[in-house]
Amino acid sequence: MKTFSTEKELQAISAKLLKEGKTIGFVPTMGALHSGHISLIEAANEACDFSVCSIFVNPTQFDKQVDLDKYPITIEADKKLLEAANCDFLLLPSVAEVYPNGKDNYTAPDIGKIVGILEGKHRIGHFEGVMQVVERLLRMTLATDLFMGLKDYQQYLVCSKMTKVVGLDHVKVHGMPIVREKSGLAKSSRNVRLSKNGKELALNISKRLKKTRVLNYKNNIKRLEKKAEEFFEKFPEIELEYFEVVDKNTLMKPTGKDKKENLIALCAAWIDGVRLIDNMVLS
Ligand code: PAF
């Protein structure tokens, strides 16, 4: 695996590859890699001629400085995992390299209401920062394909929409299945910050999503959400931020009776001071 810290070095190679008609699959990450990230590298290797991973803890997508400060940095271990997964290129840029004109010099494209709901409602400015960095990294890497995990389902939809409106519609965006631990807990870089008890408690998130999937309330969304809220009230150590059932394409509340296969349940909750998210399509 070749490691680059600048756009210029990486582009010297990727521009040549594109000229030869090769495809470049890109996996953006903030490091602290786990098997969920590695599954994305494997998918990129499978679908594309070359794979590029970036590790960059993007300051513009954190609404709380403390969350940014606490973000785990494990570069040496990450490199080993990427080597073992046969990742071709690693981009490890500085903040100045990613934002040469300053990180605050950005106007997010208008991609509609999706930016201000669910995650966007609770993490003000988060998706603007995600769009800013993903657009910039796509331009730095010259990627033809983008691989994103569906644990961050809203992020995947936001980035898909963003590529269409900023002139990156040639980039094929792949949403890849959530990787879970045997227990059902969705893999996340934040899980390492959970205590043993916190990890046990966190299992209730995927449990409730599964329960919501099997419940048959004739898709009575209000009832599904209320039952979930009542369930989480039994655990005072879990601070539920939202549990919502919405249309899986728009993330809006369906107006009429939507078919179960069009619905998704999304959840965000705090445990041990760690913010966890997960989701499940209801079909
Ligand atoms: O999902 C993440 O880790 C980040 O939001 C991403 C896509 C790497 C952008 O910084």
pLDDT at position 258 is: 65
CATH topology of domain 189-281: Pantoate--beta-alanine Ligase; Chain: A,domain 2 (3.30.1300)
Q: What is the pLDDT of residue 257?
A: 66
Average pLDDT value for residue range 65-84: 94
Q: Provide the pLDDT confidence category of residue 231 given band limits of 50, 70 and 90.
A: very high
Looking from the CA of residue 54, the nearest atom of ligand 1 is 8
- Ligand 1: does its nearest atom lie under 6 Å from the Cβ of 132? no
Does residue 251 register a pLDDT over 70? yes
CA dist 201 and 160 (Å) reads: 33
The verdict on whether 34 is a catalytic residue reads no
28 lines ligand 1 (CB under 6 A): yes
Whether 30 lines ligand 1, by a CB cut-off of 6 Å, is yes
Q: Which residue has the higher pLDDT, 186 or 255?
A: 186
**CATH 3.40.50.620 matches 2-176:** yes
Kindly give the distance from the C-alpha atom of residue 29 to the centroid of ligand 1, in angstroms, as a whole number.
5
What is the pLDDT at residue 218?
73
Beta bridge partners of 4: 91
> Measured from the CB, is residue 58 less than 6 Å from ligand 1?
yes
Does the C-beta of 269 come closer than 6 Å to ligand 1? no
Distance 189 CA to ligand 1 centre (A): 11
pTM of this prediction exceeds 0.85: yes
> Residue for token digits 């756009």?
7
For the chain, domain boundaries: 2-176, 189-281
Contact (CB, 8 A) for 110 and 165: yes
- Which protein residue's CA is at the shortest distance from atom 8 of ligand 1? 29
For the Cβ of 130 lying below 6 angstroms from any atom of ligand 1, the answer is yes
Mean pLDDT, range 103-129, rounded to an integer: 97
Give the mean pLDDT of 82-95: 98
The rounded Å distance from CA 245 to ligand 1 centre is 24
Tens of pLDDT along 118-148?
999 999 999 999 999 999 999 999 999 999 9
Q: Above 90 in pLDDT, residue 50? A: yes
Closest ligand 1 atom to residue 149 Cα is: 1
250 CA to centre of ligand 1 in angstroms: 21
Tell how far the Cα of 275 is from the centroid of ligand 1, in angstroms: 15
Apex 273 CA angle, 270 and 278, nearest 5 = 35
**Reduced 3-state DSSP string for the chain:** CEEECCHHHHHHHHHHHHHCCCCEEEEEECCCCCHHHHHHHHHHHHHCCEEEEEECCCHHHCCCHHHHHCCCCCHHHHHHHHHHCCCCEEECCCHHHHCCCCCCCCCCCCCCHHHHCCHHHHCCCHHHHHHHHHHHHHHHHCCCEEEEEHHHHHHHHHHHHHHHHCCCCCCEEEEECCCECCCCCECCHHHHHCCHHHHHHHHHHHHHHHHHHHCCCCCCHHHHHHHHHHHHHCCCCCEEEEEEEEECCCCCCCCCCCCHHHEEEEEEEEECCEEEEEEEECC
**CA distances, 152 to each of 73, 95, 130, 229 (Å):** 20, 23, 11, 21
